[in-house]
Amino acid sequence: MFRNFAVDQRIAVIYLQALAKTQHYSHFQMEDFTSRLLEHDASILGLKELVKDSRNMSKQEQASSLLSALTGGGGFAGLGALGSASASATMQQIRGTDPKHPLHVQMHNPTSTRAALVALTGRVLIAFVVVSALSALFDEKGMGRGLGMNSGSKHIQQAQDTSNVSFEDVKGVEEAKAELQEIVLYLKNPAKFTRLGGKLPRGLLLTGPPGTGKTLLAKAIAGEAGVPFFFSSGSQFEEVYVGLGAKRIRELFEAAKKKSPCILFIDEIDAVGGTRKLKDQSALKMTLNELLVQMDGFEDNSGVIVIGATNLMEALDEALLRPGRFDKHITVPLPDVGGRKEILEMYAKKTKLDPNVDLNILARGTTGFSGADLYNLMNQAALKASVDGLSSITMSVLEFAKDKILMGAERKTAVITKETAKCTAYHEAGHALVAVLTDGAMPIHKATIMPRGQSLGMVTMLPEGDQTSQSLKQMKAMMDVAMGGRVAEELIFGRDETTSGAMSDISNATRIARNMVTKYGFSDEIGLVNYGGSTGEEHASEETRTKIDAEVKKLTDASYKRAKDLLSRYSKKHHLLAKTLLEYETLTGDEVRQLISKGAKPKRPVINKNGGARGNGEVLTGGKTRLSGLGRDAT
């Protein structure tokens, strides 16, 4: 093993000692080993005589005699004398007594990993306590302001001397405005209301869906009364330090009292005023408790009207809703058809509309839109008209914007095969035909096989007016329309060729049926019982749940049968509607009704002459092309 490198006395001694320890002498060759040793240090002349004398020895005896000779022990005085200087140097190197070859000693630290982690945790805790104490001290003494550490008052919005919003700027919520008129009168002339000992509510809670104008109403009150307006958000009170939320509440009310009479508006108050639970953090409880005390405690907040806004009134703590705090609750609902027209007219004054635009039609077709949705509609229409180079906003542009909000953006670059387009057309035609021919179904707004969002096609329906309730007939009609897509696929392509496209339709039909059974009392078997909860079965027994499932399946099966009978009876109209969808891609509600009743196709150019297929022709015909951005070939 020493044929590739030279061996000096130090290496030889180490190697021989290792052999003696392990007793692995099978690879030891005396002559080869000593020849390499002589190549490094020819002064050790006694090695040659040692090799001659050891030829009759075993390998173990040879190695032992050589080790004794090199270290100066054993009966080989001649070798020790001849190489005494070299041997002495070797021993110094081995024992670490040579300054050039020190003996390195490393002490092992027995400290365990667990002890190290405990020590580290202790240091971190001490550092956290020190930093927290210093931060609290700086904040209390006001020293953090100069060091850029002040976080106690930055959330307080400077009071506006007056708001430039009036009730004329708030449209579509006339009942809510009427409720707030007395607050305006009180702020203008407090003595008129207090002369008989009466007191106005200290707090007003505005509730309702998002985008209905709750914040705008609060600004309008301040603008009408001409008083300062403070604004804050429920999420701005809490930060990392415990007690900071309560401190900010105190600062906010102190600032408001200095500007009294004034309005203090807290938006999204459910973030700080939610129902208290035992498991809540103490900081959250402290913030809410401070808000409760400031609104109705020992100190008088006369002249400070607190207005809160939330979309989740049911999430608020009961103590916050009691008389003396938020003792007047005003609902701000979605605008009705008249309110929507007023909102559209207000936004129309800020844009340039085409004279042929009929806002009455647009208001009737935007059921369920909030004020924010209507603003978005007008804004998108203005942007679309600008991109198209139009001089004004036309009705077609407004319809485009409405469809984009209701159905999503068109995916005109989507690659659709003829088979997929045909399946989608018959599926949507099934929905549309059932909707038109079923009594109680909502009128069709549009039917399309143009991919939008995550959908390959859809049929949208809008009620003729604002609805506050639904009848049993209307619910059954909604289920039948939902089943129309799956039934159409089965009748045209066969059960084995039906697709998963009806998943959301089946889900909607099942949801309606379950609500009919568990919440609306439309099941003779279950009776007039409301089981509540998200699924309507939380408080039902196992036997009742079985009955509920049976009743739900009974309703969905009946709906499936009605849809199948109708589509089978009007098969020709179904085929005509599907083929027309493949040609025109999108049909309005009037075009669908004209096609079904009179067989009249739209009087406009055909859009698609490829059987509904869309996209790259090479992809559809199997040609080879590279998909941009994907980095792979599609064949």
| Catalytic center residues | 428
Any residues with CB less than 8 A from the CB of 113 and at least 6 apart, and which? none
* Cβ atoms of residues 295 and 327 within 8 Å: no
Residue in the structure block whose two tokens are 């002498």: 25
One-letter amino acid for residue 341 of the chain: K
- Extract the tokens encoding 88: 């002495």
DSSP type of residue 495: G
> What are the Cα distances from residue 298, in Å, to 199, 292, 302, 317?
16, 11, 12, 20
Phi-psi label, residue 248: left if phi above 0, alpha if psi -120 to 50, beta otherwise: alpha
Residue in the structure block whose two tokens are 């106005």: 200
CA gap 341, 346 in Å, rounded: 9
The C-alpha angle 490, 493, 497, rounded to 5 degrees, equals 80
CA gap 135, 424 in Å, rounded: 64
In sequence order, what are the beta bridge partners of 410? 452
CA gap 122, 18 in Å, rounded: 48
Q: In Å, how far from its chain's centre is CA 540?
A: 33
Residue in the structure block whose two tokens are 């302001």: 145
Helix (H) or strand (E) holding 589: helix 589-598
One-letter amino acid for residue 490 of the chain: E
- Extract the tokens encoding 592: 């669908």
Any residues with CB less than 8 A from the CB of 502 and at least 6 apart, and which? 427, 485, 486, 489
The C-alpha angle 403, 405, 408, rounded to 5 degrees, equals 80
CB atoms within 10 A of CB 284: 17
> What are the Cα distances from residue 57, in Å, to 19, 24, 72, 93, 397?
16, 16, 20, 30, 110
* Cβ atoms of residues 408 and 455 within 8 Å: yes
Q: Coil, strand, or helix at residue 493?
A: helix
Reference 70, options 156, 110, 12; nearest CA is 12
> What are the Cα distances from residue 331, in Å, to 172, 173, 210, 608, 620?
13, 9, 12, 49, 55
Helix (H) or strand (E) holding 132: helix 113-141
CA gap 455, 510 in Å, rounded: 20
Q: Coil, strand, or helix at residue 84?
A: helix
* Cβ atoms of residues 522 and 528 within 8 Å: no
CA atoms within 13 A on the CB side of 264: 29
One-letter amino acid for residue 488 of the chain: A
